Amino acid sequence: MYFISTRGEEKVTGAQAVVQGIAGDGGLFVPEVFPTVPPEEIERMCEMDYAERAAYLLSKFFDEFEEDGLLEACRAAYRRFEGNDAAPLLRMDNGMYMLELFHGPTCAFKDVALTLMPYLLKKSCEKAGVKEKILILTATSGDTGKAALEGFKDQEGVKICVFYPEEGVSKMQKLQMCTTEGNNIDVVAVRGNFDDCQRAVKNIMNSAEKREEISKRGYILSSANSINIGRLLPQVVYYFSAYCDLLSSDQLKMGEKVVFAVPTGNFGNILAGYYAERMGLPVETLVCASNKNCALTDLLKTGTYNVKRPFFRTMSPSMDILISSNLERLIFELSGRNAELTASRMQSLSVSEKYSLRAEELKELKSLIYAGCTNESDTVETIYDFFMDYGYPMDPHTGVAMSVAQRYEAMIEEDKDAEKHPIIVLSTASPYKFPQDILYALTGNDVKDSYKGVKRIHLLTAMKVPECLKEIRYKPILFKTVVSCDKMYDEVLKFIN
């Protein structure tokens, strides 16, 4: 399997794509072709556990990796999840399901890929003949940072530097990152938002001069963000796994379609669902749920992606994003894999902060994706109502997805000609990562201390408090550096020196 750039003619192996993270022309790597998973193979996957499903699907993309080694790595990664299951599926009521993706070591869905990525990177370096040390640069809106740190800390031959917006993550997310112990990590707050962090990281990775300077110090650059295909592809697995769980529990017949509702920020999570559909998973609709930062919703309505708009900080910080990097991969597919057009659109986005789709592209986009957004009060109301109805607490990002999913469901019910399908809502983080917001949603009470919030939510819901969040309460803050965006590269050089 080869991978090609969304912006040019670059063509590399899977191992090279993982090591590079981003293409030399600034584009993102995508599979040269999508492997197919026919119905009989999906049925065969029903007999597998999650690690086996992951190894089976990933081997279709990384066919240069030894299958036994890939399976062993998947088993090691998903043993770190509660119950050895990275994606348990819960039935709620009336055709609604919750796909819980937060049972990993940092209580967020990013763990699904980032517990496995160290193996993929190490094996890719071996396959690509890379002898230098790896420097991983990561911009985070909250969850990717801690998951990447947890995955790569103390890894030989690797250093990882995480940048996060100083005021753009929850207190618990910040505590998780800044208390991480490891001899190869750096965590830096940035004055700005996630888009600023991500733009600066991309500029470093795309600069031949900066890459050369880093190379002189014995490192090559890579990324743990979902711009790296090695971060993205493991996320395809839980879409197939959820479908298999419905089949094996006789709640679905092979070939019947399902709907996935996805809280969406950088577009990697929902893009994995699109990839799953392209591979043969029976998907009726992908519900793209946004918060007040609704550039994606407006794209589906108008056909124009315009990021020149107000930026909002919300209770769902991992979705406080205007420039969704992975959207480039989808735009590339919608254009008929026209690299020149994709590059032109990305240039337009950089210069004029917008680009537009052709009519036929927008029609195709609307045929698979339903986009909606929700404000803070509606998110709070959804979290409260769902807990009152089902006794199930959800984090703010899942609350956004549920709010938009319920709106989609109501639309389908009103349409007499529309066929109703099971709706699977992706639950992307533990409620305990956002204790102040969840306590407010459930009780109307405010609390300043995160751990008082955790205690009160536990008393109210009886939901188990994750050990990884309990233990950081008394850990020292190890990282206090704050820089402006234009000083991020200086911080990188200081770190590797």
- Tell me the C-alpha distance between 269 and 262, whole Å: 7
**Which amino acid belongs to residue 328?**
E
In what helix (H) or strand (E) does residue 138 lie, and over which residues does it extend?
A: strand 133-139
User: Per-residue pLDDT tens for 31-41?
Assistant: 999 999 999 99
Separation of first and last alpha carbons in the chain: 37
Residue in the structure block whose two tokens are 């699977």: 424
User: Per-residue pLDDT tens for 95-107?
Assistant: 899 999 999 999 9
**SS percent in the chain: helix, strand, coil, step 5:** 50, 15, 35
Give 483's pLDDT tier (boundaries 50, 70, 90): very high
Give 84's pLDDT tier (boundaries 50, 70, 90): confident
Q: What is the pLDDT of residue 9?
A: 81
| pLDDT mean over 245-258 | 97
pLDDT at 94 over 80: no
Spell out the domains of the chain, with CATH numbers in brackets. 91-105+232-463 (3.40.50.1100)
Q: What percent of the chain has pLDDT over 70?
A: 100
CA torsion, points 221, 224, 230, 236, in degrees to nearest 10?
Answer: -160
Q: What is the pLDDT of residue 326?
A: 97
CA torsion, points 126, 130, 131, 137, in degrees to nearest 10?
Answer: -110
Residues contacting residue 311 through CB under 8 Å, at least 6 positions apart: 193, 195, 293, 320, 322
- Tell me the C-alpha distance between 23 and 44, whole Å: 35
Instruction: Tell me how far CA of residue 360 lies from CA of 41, 297, 367, in angstroms.
Output: 33, 18, 11
| pLDDT mean over 466-483 | 95
Q: What is the pLDDT of residue 93?
A: 83
Which of 234, 213, 152 has the alpha carbon at shortest distance from 187?
A: 152
| pLDDT mean over 401-422 | 95
Q: Provide the CA 311 distance to its chain's centre, in angstroms.
A: 20
User: Per-residue pLDDT tens for 218-231?
Assistant: 999 999 999 999 99
pLDDT at 309 over 80: yes
User: Per-residue pLDDT tens for 147-183?
Assistant: 999 999 999 999 999 999 999 999 999 999 999 999 9
> What pTM did the predictor assign?
0.97
Give 142's pLDDT tier (boundaries 50, 70, 90): confident
In whole numbers, what is the pLDDT of the chain averaged over residues?
96
